[in-house]
Copies of this chain bind each other. A is one copy, B any other.
Amino acid sequence: MPIPAPNLYPPFNIIRLSHVVFGVKDVAASRKFYVDILGLQVTDEDADTVYMRALEERGHHCMVLQKSDVSEVKSLSFKVFAEEELDKAEAWFTSKGHATEWVERPYQGRTLATVDNYGMPIEFYFQMDRLSPIHQKYELYHGVKPLRIDHFNCYSPSVDESVAFYNEIGFRVTEYTEDEESGKLWAAWTHRKGGVHDIAFTNGLGPRLHHTAFWVPTPLNIIDLCDLMATTGYVTNIERGPGRHGISNAFFLYILDPDGHRIEIYCSDYQTVDPDLEAIKWDLKDPQRQTLWGAPAPRSWFEHGSTFKGIAPQESTLAASPIIAP
């Protein structure tokens, strides 16, 4: 099944992924991980909640930590181009039979909460409080020097169906992995903001969140983070990498936060603003697909993920197997 033609004139205009809300069991432990080790900047907090932004961001938050009895993801959020796009979005989701709700979110204007084709909680807003730039306050830079949130990656029971859904609302496929035998998609990377992806999908028990990625300046910052984590009690939180992806050509590292939410540190992908950009196809059996340098990912990387609040994941229909480290 080929990937669909991009929908260049979608029903409403999403400009980029915006933020994720994590339910975490120990706010202090998570805060230490994200703020002291990774280097995110706190923009507001109380005993149960921490709002953070990365160093070049002017929106109030790209990640929210909320005290929770279970480790889970509350929602994935996207920013739209204008206030009226929210109304178009509501109309579209309603017409497709998805429940919608206008919700109150601190530091945000009108916010539309709804679900995707698999019930994954997603939210849309246009207005978020804008903060003064800090990207030239270099004394604030530490840890991995995170510059901005880059993308989400989700497990999907059927990547073909997820791509069909997100393609319809304007996400354009940049790269994809096909299972040669079934002709089905194993994984796909789709974007709105002009990079390799805002959201990607990987075959597996889903919907679950596979990871959330942050953009950093250079591969050396990723090496610095490995050194720091390895010597501050976080060595077992390093799951995979560092290395170069075949797909996206980005330099990566995967780490796990105290609740097991997976974070990717990411840099060096490429610009994808051309509407006629040809998607790059990879074979599931190509060992350089995962890591250009040949090292397979560990089993946990294919199996572990974060559940979303209120939605039980379902088994994938595609039984094909990637190359897993022995």
- Quick check: which of A68-76, A215-223, A307-315 contacts chain B, the rest being far away? A215-223
Tell me whether B15 and A249 are in contact (CB under 8 A): no
Q: Which B-chain residue is minimally distant from A193 (CB atoms)?
A: B273
Tell me whether A228 and B294 are in contact (CB under 8 A): no
Tell me whether B249 and A226 are in contact (CB under 8 A): no
A residues near B (Cβ < 8 Å) are 8, 15-16, 56, 58-59, 79, 81-82, 127, 130, 133, 135-139, 141-142, 147-148, 193-194, 217-220, 223-224, 226-232, 235-236, 238, 242-244, 246, 249, 251, 268, 270-271, 273-278, 280, 287-288, 292-295, 325-326
Rounded to whole angstroms, the CA-CA distance of A235 and B291 in the bound complex is 10
Tell me whether B244 and A223 are in contact (CB under 8 A): yes
Rounded to whole angstroms, the CA-CA distance of A36 and B246 in the bound complex is 23
- The 9 A-B residue pairs whose C-beta atoms are closest, nearest first, are A56-B270, A138-B227, A235-B294, A218-B218, A138-B228, A226-B293, A230-B292, A138-B231, A194-B194
Tell me whether A288 and B228 are in contact (CB under 8 A): no
Other-chain residue from B142, B236, B271 in contact with A193 (beta carbon distance below 8 A): B271
Other-chain residue from B58, B148, B217 in contact with A278 (beta carbon distance below 8 A): B58
* Least distance between A197 CB and chain B CB atoms (Å): 14
- Copies of this chain in its oligomeric complex: 4
Task: Decide yes or no: A244 and B230 within 8 Å by CB, A147-B270, A235-B293 being known contacts.
Answer: yes
**Inter-chain contacts of A277 with B (CB < 8 A):** 58
* Least distance between A102 CB and chain B CB atoms (Å): 20
Tell me whether B278 and A130 are in contact (CB under 8 A): yes
Q: Which B-chain residue is minimally distant from A150 (CB atoms)?
A: B271
Task: Decide yes or no: A231 and B271 within 8 Å by CB, A58-B277, A220-B219 being known contacts.
Answer: no
Contacts beyond the supplied A147-B270, A148-B271: 16 A-B pairs with Cβ under 8 Å:
A82-B275, A130-B278, A133-B280, A135-B270, A139-B232, A148-B270, A193-B194, A217-B218, A218-B218, A219-B219, A226-B292, A231-B292, A235-B288, A235-B293, A238-B293, A325-B325
